[in-house]
Amino acid sequence: MHLWLALVGGALHPLALAPVAARPLALVAPLALLIALEQKPQRGALTGYGYGLGLFGVGASWVYVSMQRYGGIGIATSAALTAAFVAGLALLYALLGALYARGRAQFPAPQLTLFPLLWLGIEWLRGWLLTGFPWLYLGTASLDTPMAGWLPLVGTLGTGYLLVLLTALVWRIGTDLWPTAENTTSWRARMRAALVGLTAASALVVVGAIGNGLEWVTPRPHTQMEVALVQPSVPQSLKWDPLVADATVEQLQVDSEPLWGVADLIVWPEAAIPLFPVQIADVLETLQARALQSGTALITGIPTLAPAGDDDFIAHNSLITLGATPGRYDKQRLVPFGEYVPLERWLRGLIRFFDLPMSSFHRGAADQPPLHAAGLQVLPLICYEVAYAGLARRTPVDLLLTVSNDAWFGDSWGPHQHLEIARLRAIENGRPLVRGTNDGYTALIDHRGKVLQRSERFVRQTLRGKIQPTDGQTPWSRWGRWPLWLPLISVACLWLGHRRHHHRTA
């Protein structure tokens, strides 16, 4: 029974996020895991593994779509690779369960101290291990709730920790109010404990609600930027077809023609130009001249080449700026198998999926400066990079920009989740965010994470609107994850005090 409870809890976790967005499930899901771990603490690893299988089996199902529909892999192989992906990620929650089962007897109130801290540690670990998978974080579910006020304070990871702490408080209140054979304390003592837990839980929600009403940054008065985002909606099956490349670029130029001199910034999505600059030098020269003449900057995705020794080059997934302040950004966080192949010597050529077009990119440098457009500093994030909160706060800028090609995900949950993650970065940093995609969701998002405008999916269209830059920094933007050391230090002190008390009474 405990294993099924954990599995169901894990499956409910992604339902708290887009597109279902049943936010209260963000409390129910970890509560199910906690109850399951308390029922069978000796089977902590298996219980945690069940939660991980439910979480990634439901929430990351779009991996199958990418491989089967666009990776040229058969149904059986795609299903097997997806199952391996889910099973591998679930091991992290097996680690959570094992550590909780092993350490629960050594901590006072382990449900309130150890469990939320382990959750925080596991979410941090899976955002870093093997380049990381910072997706489906529980803190994402705070969007559009009172708890969203914590995002500019402690970020998504910290807010996820607080949601799990809130869940643990609910569990503790329930156990205090519900008499059991193990709970031998008096009725009055249990009522006092429940009242303390209720006060603490209410404080978390109230502080979050107050934070929702605070302005950590100041919208810049009388400064608005007219942005136009071109969504070409090129089918993924044709994206890298050399016979279609010229037509793709021509389509982008036609869609952008009415925007020159009208918008301050035109954005084309990730790899919008499916050719290297040397192959399309005349078009880039024309676009540069058009940008200078009109006073409109253009930022576009394009694969680029960089020298790498004698007569050799490496490829980057890049963004370039055309106009008065030309610039370039090379993607730092690459998607395994989509943009590079781990263990390439052994895997390249094994199956078609390992030979996808443009799957030999190299990482860009970590110290790249922001781009400049229309007098503003723009921090670029290409596709998957927007999921890395640290990349979005690496330097104070005026505007966050992310471009993507979500055609890989088809009509799955992936694009919905991707847009939701972009909203997190805007709130955390108190900066407006512009999101340009190939086939949706293209969007304009303000500094509070509100979607001002959003495109439809699978539609060729241009999205136009105004964004307002902000001044100042949020606590998260200023300090990053440093405040998250506080719960670690607090729990460590409680553990030491508990051990000393245990030794005295032993």
**Which positions are annotated as active-site residues?**
270, 331, 383
Give the single-character DSSP code of 40: -
Chain centroid to Cα 53, Å, comes to: 20
For residue 420, give both structure tokens: 């939701």
How are the residues of the chain apportioned to helix, strand and coil, as percentages rounded to the nearest 5? 55, 15, 30
List, in order, residues 6 or more apart from 287 with CB less than 8 Å away. 253, 298, 322
Please give the radius of gyration of the chain, using alpha carbons only, rounded to the nearest integer: 25
Q: What CA–CA distance (Å, rounded) separates 468 from 454?
A: 17
For residue 286, give both structure tokens: 């024309």
The CA-to-CA distance between both ends of the chain, in Å, stands at 35
- Please state whether 440 falls in left (phi above 0), alpha (psi between -120 and 50) or beta: left
Q: What CA–CA distance (Å, rounded) separates 315 from 277?
A: 11
List, in order, residues 6 or more apart from 455 with CB less than 8 Å away. 229, 231, 437, 440, 441, 442, 443, 461, 463
| Contact by Cβ (8 Å): 263, 228 | yes
Q: What CA–CA distance (Å, rounded) separates 383 from 238?
A: 19
Q: What CA–CA distance (Å, rounded) separates 288 from 322?
A: 5
| Contact by Cβ (8 Å): 336, 63 | no
For residue 261, give both structure tokens: 């001199």
For residue 151, give both structure tokens: 């995002």
For residue 448, give both structure tokens: 């509070």
| Residue 64 one-letter amino acid | Y
Longest alpha-carbon distance in the chain: 83
List, in order, residues 6 or more apart from 486 with CB less than 8 Å away. none
